[in-house]
Structure 1
Amino acid sequence: MIFAAGFGTRMGPLTMDCPKPLVPVAGRPMVDFALDLIADFPAERVVANAHYLADQIQDYLEPKGVLISHEFPNILDTGGGLRRALPLIDSDTVVTINPDVIWRGPNPLNMVAEAWDPDKMDALLLCIPKDQTIGRIGPGDFTLSDGGRPTRGGSMVYGGVQIIKTSTVKDIAEDVFSLNLVWDKLNHDNRLYCAQYPGKWCDVGRAESIPLAENLIATDV
C-alpha cells in the first residue's frame, strides 16, 4: 500500500495544484521511485489511498495497475487510511510505503519481507540511523535493542516502510487515527519490531529537500 492521501502542506506552493506524490523529483513524479521498488517486489496487488486532489492520483496510478482507496469526505490518517483500504488489500499482512522518500541501497520492501517473522511480530518497521539520513529535521524516532525491539526516542528514524498484520487496525475505536497508536499498542505487547537499513535515505517532505534527493539519486552508493 502506498500512502498517497496527504495534503503535502510542507511542500508549500508546489502542492497547491499538484498532490505531493506527483511532485517532480529528478524529472519524474516522486511516487515513481516507490513504484520502482514495488516492481522489484513480489506484490500480489498494489493499493494507494487518495484524498487531496484524488482525481490526479487516480488518473496517474490506475493505468499502472494500482487500486485506489478513496478517503471521502475526510482524510483518515495512516491508520484509518489503512483500515479503509482493507477490502482492496484482501490479505492478512501488507507492506506499506511512503512515497515521499528516496532510498539508496537494498530494496527496503525486500528487506522487511526477508526479516518478517509472523510468529513473534505483528509489525516490523524499517529504520535508518540518523547519520545515514538526508533532509531529516528533528530527532530520531526509536532506539533499538540487539533483538530489534524498539523504545521511543533515540537516533533511529522510521523510514516509511513496514510490514504489518491487517488485523492490528480492525478494532481501533476511532475513525481517524495514526499508525503510531497501533505501534504503541503492539510495543506494549512485545509484538513490534524494527530492522535497520544499511543504505542512505532522503526525506522529500519539503521543497528544499528536492535538490538533496536529486543529488542522492545521481550518486553511486
Structure 2
Amino acid sequence: MNAMILAAGRGERMRPLSDHCPKPLLSVGGRTLLDWHLARLAASGFERVVINTAWLGDAIRDHVARHAPEGLEVRLSDEGDRALETAGGIVRALPLLGSDPFVVINGDVWSDFDPAMLPTRPEGLGHLVLVDNPEHHPDGDFRFDGYAVVSEGGDAPRYTFAGIACYRPELFAGVLPGVAPLAPILHRACERRQLTGHHHAGQWCDVGTPARLATLDARLSRR
C-alpha cells in the first residue's frame, strides 16, 4: 500500500516558527515531524510515500534527499506557490498514488498509531482513525453508528478525526483539479454511510501551535 503525507500548508497558526521552516520540519523529541512519519511508515512495511509541497517546498525536498529511510521510495507532488488544500493536494497526487487504496497522514500530527493497522481494502470509500477530543476541539467531528462513521444524528459520543485515514481513489471522483478542502467530501460520504473507522485510544497530538509543539517536545524528550 502507498501512503501520502500532507505537508504543503503555510502553517499560519504556527507562525513565527513556520515563517522560515515548513511545519513538517519542526522538531519534537529530537526529530522532525516528517521524520517521525517516514520512520513509522517504513517500519510498518510501506514502500512508497508521496509528500505534497508548496510553502518552502525546497526545504522539504532537500531534507528528504538527505534523511529518507533506506528502502522507502519518496516522491514529491509539487503544488507550486499556493497549497491546494487537503483534497486538492490528494487529487493532484493521485497519479503517483496509483489505483489501489492508500493511506493519508496529516504532516502536522504526531501519534503512536501504527498505520499498518489500517485496512488495505476498506469497506466503502475510506476508513478514518478517530481519537478522543482534545481541549482545543471539544465538540469533535464524527461519531460511530456501528462500524460506520457518521457526522450527524444519534446520541453516541463524538470523536475527533486524527488526520490519519485510508481512502479509495473513488472517494475523489468528480473533484476537479485545483483548491479543494477535504472536510465536505468526508461529510458527504458519511451521509451516504460510505466511510468506516475505529477509535485509537493511544497517543495523538495535533501539533498546530507553538504551545502545543513545545508541550509535545517536552513530553517526548522525557521518554
TM value normalised by structure 2: 0.86
What SS is found at the alignment partner of 1:140? Answer: coil
Residue of structure 2 in register with 1:44 after alignment: 47
Q: Distance in 2 between matches of 1:207 and 1:163?
A: 28
Counterpart mapping for 1:136-215 below 5 A: 136-152=136-152, 155-173=158-176, 175-215=178-218
More displaced 10-residue stretch of structure 1: 45-54 or 91-100: 91-100
Matched, 1:103 2:111: yes
What SS is found at the alignment partner of 1:208? Answer: helix
Q: Distance in 1 between matches of 2:32 and 2:43?
A: 18
What SS is found at the alignment partner of 1:190? Answer: coil
Matched, 1:59 2:51: no
Name structure 2 gaps, 5 residues minimum: none
Counterpart mapping for 1:4-23 below 5 A: 4-23=7-26
What SS is found at the alignment partner of 1:46? Answer: strand
Q: Distance in 2 between matches of 1:44 and 1:36?
A: 11
Residue-pair matches, total: 212
Which AA in structure 2 matches 1:67?
R
Name structure 1 gaps, 5 residues minimum: none
Q: Distance in 1 between matches of 2:100 and 2:42?
A: 21
CA contact (8 A) 1:141 1:152 kept: no
Give how far 1:136 is off: 3.7
Q: Distance in 2 between matches of 1:218 and 1:27?
A: 7
Q: Deviations over 1:3-53 (max 9, x none)?
A: 000001111110111100011212321211111221122223110000000
CA contact (8 A) 1:83 1:170 kept: no
Residue of structure 2 in register with 1:81 after alignment: 89
Q: Distance in 1 between matches of 2:218 and 2:140?
A: 23
Give how far 1:218 is off: 4.7
What SS is found at the alignment partner of 1:61? Answer: helix
Which AA in structure 2 matches 1:190?
R
Q: Distance in 1 between matches of 2:130 and 2:188?
A: 19
Q: Distance in 2 between matches of 1:82 and 1:53?
A: 19
Matched, 1:70 2:78: yes
- Say if 1:167 and 1:46 are closer, same or farther in 2 by CA, change over 3 A: same
CA contact (8 A) 1:7 1:15 kept: yes
Task: Say what the alpha-carbon RMSD is for the aligned residues.
Answer: 2.1
Which AA in structure 2 matches 1:83?
V
Q: Deviations over 1:56-76 (max 9, x none)?
A: 011112442411000024321
Give how far 1:155 is off: 3.1
Residue of structure 2 in register with 1:35 after alignment: 38
Which AA in structure 2 matches 1:71?
E
Query: Equivalent pairs: percent with the same residue?
Result: 31
TM value normalised by structure 1: 0.86
Residue of structure 2 in register with 1:3 after alignment: 6
